[in-house]
Amino acid sequence: MLFTSYLFLGFLALVLILYYVLPKKTQWPLLLCASYLFYFAAGAHFLLYLLSTTVTIWGAAVLIDKNHQAQKTYIKEHKEEMDREAQKTYRAAQKKIRFRYFLAALLINLLVLAVVKYANFFIDNFNGVLRAFGNAEGLSFVNIALPMGISFYTFQTIGYLVDVYRGNTAAEKSIFRFALFVSFFPQVVQGPINRFGEMAPSLYAQKRFDGRQVSFGLQRILWGYFKKLVIADRILVAVTAIFGDPANQGAYVFVGMIFYRLQLYADFSGGIDITIGIAEALGITLRENFNRPYFSKSLPEYWRRWHMSMNAWFRDYIFYPLSTSPALVSLTKKVRARFGPGAGKRVPLYISSFAAWAATGIWHGASWNFVVWGLTNWLILMLSEEFTPLYERFRRATHTEQSRAYDVFQIVRTFLLIGCVNLFDCHATLGATFRSFASMFTSANYHVLTDGSLLELGLTGLDYGILAVAWLIVLTVSLVQRKGSVREQIEPLPYAVKYVLFFGLFLIVLLMGAYGVGYDASQFIYNRF
Amino acid sequence: MKKKILKYGLTAVISIAILFLLQRLLMPKYVDGIVEGAFVAEYYEEEKDHDVIFVGDCEVYETFSPLVLWEEYGINAYIRGSAQQYIFQSYYMVEDTLRYETPDVVVFNIQSLQYDEAQSEAYNRMTLEGMKWSKTKVDAINASMKEGEQFLDYVFPILRYHTRWSELTETDVQYMFDKKKVSHNGYYMRVDVKPAENVPEGRPLGNYDFGENAWKYLDMMRELCAEKGVTLLLVKAPSLYPYWYPEYEAQVEAYAEEHGLRYINLLEDAEAIGLDYTTDTYDAGLHMNLSGAEKCARFLGHVLSVEYGLEDRRGEAALDEAWRGKKEAYEAEIAEQKVKYGIKDE
């Protein structure tokens, strides 16, 4: 059930109506039923994966939590009989038990993810090794359909498991309530990756109908559809035309790179707007995932503003634990003693971020392209870190610290840099990616930008016009957002003005949206992750 | 509270009105160029008192002139055909007709038997959009939709035509609410001539058998007509192309014989009809022009009148009056087309 299908809109309308019409105590059970129905529509057998994650993570978390409580009670009851050492030994023994629960659930879920998402990647590489040793016969590829949103809900639930294991979050006692956290239909497809502690209060609370909140939610949904249907699905035609034909090199790659950046942002942030808008209309608070990322002046800043929930996840559950792990702390000490404090500071940063970025890359897709994409990001981020003092000195020397023009230069530079890195996403192989990248500097075909060749990419002049105006609207909204929520700023305006704005936006989506006959109903890009 | 209801009520009314107007504006009008999409809807403006209803694809709406049937035999006929109207659509067209009237004879052109399922969304639209909403239309849509088509797009055509704003012309504004008639009791007139020369032979096919779905709907049509006491007459228009294979012919003949139906292949009666393929077709043998359509109507009118004993209704004041107006429109269009195609009166 695509977010852009009529069926989904009907489903959503029905859920919203029932949610506020039925007794409040049925609100979260209704959402659970709706979420499972939504997931069922994607494929009945996919439910098995969802259920296995729900049951294993919930079970392990409950056992860990129980053990925590039992440990507390035991120590409290036997405080008199146990000296410090005995308590320490007892705690260590209990921690071991909890770790076993944690590890079992973690491995089961990572194994499922590895099999469904990465099995063919492993087989392909294994076969490559066999071929290198002269064995032509390799393993056959497996045919496993990727369950909808598996990367998102697996990581979300692993985050929950870690939180419970660390004692930061109490385990949810009801498997049904937990099942809703895992399967909540707007976010199960492409996130954002939420934290149980943040989401649970509003997810399970009983809500009264709040017209303003529902209206705000619907406005955000509409904005999401605008980005997805008017921009992303329109520009998709040209992106597919450019990267679908290996003959398109040089200027075409440059144009494709820019178009793909615009498409990816409109598609992903549009989908997240729809997700957060639906949740808002239901009175549920989700994490934000974007903070006007294309205004970033550097790559580190960009990654703080793009796909924020995923980056926070990798930071909190891979980067920090790794950089504070006993092994790395010990290594840091040794390096510091031998090479000085500068090197000592860099060791945990380099190693932990390397691991986090390798994981981010492989999370995005089962191919070397994504691994290299992740590591390229890591390399640039580390270089950026190393050169920061130099940049600062340069800006002081050139008096560009307060320069608007330099700010714009930085924004454009960051945009293009990310575009280049994202070429890994546009090609299936590393060879094609590097050829494509190099051709931007070696092909002398930039005349295609002005000779009408761009009109042969499946977009008419009118399409380009619509895209330009639509981007202007997105840009304007982004600029207005600097002063706070756009909807909050629109709210005090006269009713007629608000009507014109939102009904006008609705008409733009209706009349200029790339949907229906003549357009391929396209899945959100991040659904495939 | 009252004020709030009024405010939101007014908002809803204004929004619906805007959407309605936009939908009217964006929908194709079919008044010039491709006019075939307008035929189905024109039926509902008629007095429903027909003796004969023709159903089928272009071979039927370009092959028989209802005016000739009236003028020469007093038969009040109407053609419910549209471009590439598939058999399942023809069945629902019969079912739809029977909601309003019970003709004596339904004439079905069997050309569409070769299509077991819809071939083109655009043709679906031209046939189905003009139908009035009823369970029959719902069934017709469900039977016709190709993969990727959505039922809701038929309910709210603005969803289908939302991108037409870039192609709008003056005609779209002019005919937003009121359309001019483009057919003559469902007959699509062409007065120009393009002789049939070098008509290609049919290429050998892998399979000549009509599909299960096609047979199913022919059975349904036959049963429906029998149930309502309507005589079903099967015909094959005398189009030279697309090629009508002997294997097709054999299947239709066998079916007609098995079920006691009359089947007339006008291709075989071309001589009796007096058809001259150098003067009676406007597109090299695919379709009849006015001259061909009048000859075919004359021939079939004789069959209907003599063999089926259809009553001569000339003299019924209301019908005489109606046909007088129709004749004027018919003749006016002949004159108009003659100018358009540069044809001089003999």
pLDDT per residue over A94-134, tens digit each? 999 999 999 999 999 999 999 998 888 888 888 888 888 88
| The amino acid at A311 | N
- Which among A154, A151, A174, A155 has a CA at the least distance from the CA of A65? A174
Length of chain A in residues, anyone? Answer: 529
pLDDT digits (tens, 9 = 90+) for A321-331: 888 888 888 88
Q: Find the mean pLDDT for residues A71-82.
A: 87
Q: Which residue of A has its CA nearest to B163?
A: A511
Domain assignment present for A160: yes
Using an 8 Å CB-CB cutoff, list chain A residues near B121: 517
Please tell me the predicted confidence (pLDDT) of residue A396.
86
Across the beta sheet with B105-109, the strand order is B77-81, B52-56, B105-109, B231-236, B262-265
Residues A299 and A205 in one domain: no
Number of domains in chain B: 1
**What is the model's pLDDT at position A365?**
83
Nearest to B159 among A462, A512, A516 (CB): A516
Domain that holds residue A332: 295-426
Maximum distance among all Cα pairs of chain B, rounded to whole angstroms: 79
**Across the interface, which of B11, B149, B150 has its CB nearest the CB of A499?**
B11
Selected for mutation to probe chain A from B11, B150, B153 (highest A CB count within 10 Å) is B150
Start-to-end CA span in chain A (Å): 17
A190 with A332, same domain: the answer is no
Report the C-alpha gap between B68 and B296 in whole angstroms: 9
Q: Which residues of A touch B148 (CB under 8 A)?
A: 517, 521
pLDDT single digits (tens) B95-131? 999 999 999 999 999 999 999 999 989 999 999 999 9
Q: Would A126 be classed as within a structural domain?
A: yes
Q: Which of B15, B160, B166 sits opposite A462 (nearest CB)?
A: B166
Of A6, A462, A521, the CB nearest to B152: A6
Burial of A8 (0-12, 13-18, 19+ CB in 10 A): middle
The mean pLDDT of chain B is 93
User: Considering Cα of B46, then B47, then B48, then B50, what sign does the dihedral take?
Assistant: negative
Same domain, A301 and A201: no
In this predicted structure, what is the pLDDT of residue A136?
A: 73
C-alpha A161/C-alpha A99 separation (Å) is 11
User: How many whole angstroms separate alpha carbon B196 and alpha carbon B240?
Assistant: 8
Q: Assess whether pLDDT exceeds 90 at residue A398.
A: no
**Mean pLDDT calculated for residue range A488-517:** 93
More confident residue, A396 or A309: A309
Does one domain contain both A58 and A184?
Answer: yes
Q: Which segments of A422-494 does DSSP mark as H helices, in order?
A: 423-426, 430-442, 461-481, 486-490
Token output for B4: 């709030």
- Which tokens belong to B343? 């044809």
Query: pLDDT digits over B69-80, tens only?
Result: 999 999 999 999
The answer to whether residue A251 sits within a structural domain is no
Cβ A514 vs Cβ A230: under 8 Å = yes
| A203 & A317 share domain | no
pLDDT for residue A524 is more than 70: no
| Chain B residues within 8 A of A510 when measuring between CB atoms | 158-159, 162
Task: Tell me if B18 and A503 make a contact (CB, 8 A cut-off).
Answer: yes
In contact, A46 and A146? CB cutoff 8 Å: no
- Give the mean model confidence (pLDDT) for residues B276-293: 93
Chain A residues in contact with B16 by the CB 8 A cut-off are none
Cβ-contact B113, B135 below 8 angstroms? no
Residues of chain B neighbouring A495 (CB-CB closer than 8 A): 7
Residue B346 lies in a domain: no
Per-residue pLDDT tens over the stretch A215-230 = 999 999 999 999 999 9
Statement to judge: residues A318 and A182 lie in one domain: no
Report pLDDT digits (tens) over A453-498. 889 888 999 999 999 999 999 999 999 998 889 999 999 999 999 9
Nearest to B111 by CA among B219, B298, B248: B248
Give the number of other CB atoms < 10 A from CB of residue A191. Answer: 27
**B160 — pLDDT class (breaks 50, 70, 90):** very high
The Cα–Cα gap between A399 and A408 comes to: 15
Residue A520 has pLDDT above 70, yes or no: no
Taking the CA of residue B147 and the nearest CA in chain A, the distance in Å comes to 10
State whether A74 and A172 are in the same domain.
yes
Which tokens go with A329?
């702390």
Query: What's the number of domains chain A is made of?
Result: 2
Measured CA angle at B283 (ends B281, B287), to 5 deg: 55
B120 reaches A (C-beta below 8 A):
no
Identify any residues that bridge with B108 across adjacent strands, giving them in sequence order.
B55, B234
**HEC profile of A139-188:** CCCCCCCCCCCHHHHHHHHHHHHHHHHHCCCCCCCCHHHHHHHHHCHHHH
Q: What is the pLDDT of residue A528?
A: 57
**What's the pLDDT score for residue A529?**
55
Lowest average pLDDT, out of A105-114, B63-72, B194-203, goes to B194-203
Does the N-terminal peptide bond of residue B242 adopt cis geometry, omega within 30 degrees of 0? Answer: yes
CA distance B218 to chain A (A): 30
* Stretch A291-300: mean pLDDT: 92
B230 lies in which domain range?
2-341
The conformation of residue A494, written as its DSSP 8-state character, comes to -
Check B149 against A517: CB less than 8 A apart: yes
Contact yes or no for B162 and A518 at CB 8 A:
no
Q: Note whether A37 and A167 are same-domain residues.
A: yes
Confidence of residue A345 (pLDDT cuts 50, 70, 90): confident
Paired tokens of A528: 């495939």
Nearest Cα of chain A lies from the Cα of B175 at a distance, in angstroms, of: 20
Task: For residues B284-293, give the mean pLDDT.
Answer: 93
pLDDT above 80 for B200: no
From A194, A209, A224, the end of a domain falls on: A209
Interface of B with A in 264-283 (CB under 8 A): none
What pLDDT is attached to residue A504? Answer: 96
When pLDDT is cut at 50, 70 and 90, the band that residue A521 belongs to is low
Minimal Cβ distance to B7: which of A495, A512, A515: A495
> Are B305 and B312 in contact, with CB atoms under 8 Å apart?
yes
Mean pLDDT of A340-368: 87
Condensed to tens digits (0 to 9), the pLDDT of residues B239-266 reads: 988 889 999 999 999 999 999 999 999 9
| 8 A C-beta contact, residue A137 and residue A166 | no
Task: Specify burial of residue A309 (Cβ count, 10 A radius: 0-12, 13-18, 19+).
Answer: buried
Q: What ipTM does the predicted assembly reach?
A: 0.86
Compute φ and ψ for A457, nearest 5 degrees. -100, 15
Per-chain mean pLDDT for chain A:
91
Residue A297's SS3 state is coil
Query: Among partner residues B11, B158, B160, which is closest to A517 by beta-carbon distance?
Result: B160
Q: Give the DSSP per-residue string, A406-424.
A: HHHHHHHHHHHHHHHHTHH
Q: Which of A5, A234, A511 to mutate to test the interface with B (most CBs of B within 10 A)?
A: A511
What percent of chain B shows pLDDT beyond 90? 81
How many helices (H) and strands (E) chain A has is answered by 24, 0
Contact A462 B163 (CB under 8 A): no
Residue B168 buriedness (CB in 10 A; 0-12 / 13-18 / 19+): exposed
Q: Which residue has the tokens 């007794």?
A: A23
Distances from the Cα of A208 to the Cα of A35, A218, B8, angstroms: 21, 17, 21
Residue that the structure tokens 């146990």 belong to: A82
Long-range contacts of B256-263 (CB under 8 A, 24+ apart): B259/B222, B261/B222, B261/B232, B261/B233, B261/B234, B262/B233, B262/B234, B262/B307, B263/B110, B263/B233, B263/B234, B263/B235, B263/B236
CA A475 to chain centre: 22
Of A403 and A18, more confident = A18
Q: Which of A426, A456, A482 is the last residue of a domain?
A: A426
How close B163 gets to chain A, by Cα (Å)?
A: 6
Residues A60 and A192 in one domain: yes
**CB–CB contact A513 B153 (8 Å):** no
3-state secondary structure of A454: helix
Judged by CB atoms closer than 8 Å, whether chains meet at B162 and A513 is answered as: yes
Q: A186, A209, A232: which is the final residue of a domain?
A: A209
Query: B138 versus A127: which is more confidently predicted?
Result: B138
Residues of A with CB under 8 A from a CB of B: 6, 462, 495, 499, 503, 507, 510-513, 515-518, 521
Which residues in chain B are contacts of A507 at CB distance < 8 A? Answer: 18, 22
B174 touches chain A (CB under 8 A): no
Mean pLDDT of B269-290: 92
Who among B11, B160, B166 is closest to A516 (CB)? Answer: B160
Cβ-count burial of B79 within 10 angstroms (0-12 exposed, 13-18 middle, 19+ buried)? Answer: buried
A504 Cβ contact list (under 8 Å, min separation 6)? none
Query: A517 to chain B nearest CA, in Å?
Result: 7
Choosing among B152, B160, B164, B168, which should be mutated to test the A contact, i.e. which has the most A CBs within 10 A?
B152
Least confident of A80-84, A352-356, B45-49: A80-84
> Does residue A12 fall inside a structural domain?
yes
Q: Bridge-partner residues for B235, per DSSP?
A: B109, B264
Is B25 within 8 Å of chain A by CB?
no
User: In sequence order, what are the residues at sequence separation of 6 or more whose Cβ sits closer than 8 angstroms to the Cβ of residue B153?
Assistant: A516, A517, B159, B160
Is residue A523 scored above 70 in pLDDT?
no
Give the count of alpha carbons within 13 A of A475, CB side only: 7
Residue B248: give its domain's CATH number.
3.40.50.1110
Nearest CB to B162 within list A6, A499, A511: A511
Asked if the model's pLDDT at residue A527 lies above 80, the reply is no
Letter for the amino acid at B222? R
User: To 10 degrees, the CA torsion angle through A372, A377, A383, A384?
Assistant: 170
Is residue B203 pLDDT above 80, yes or no? yes
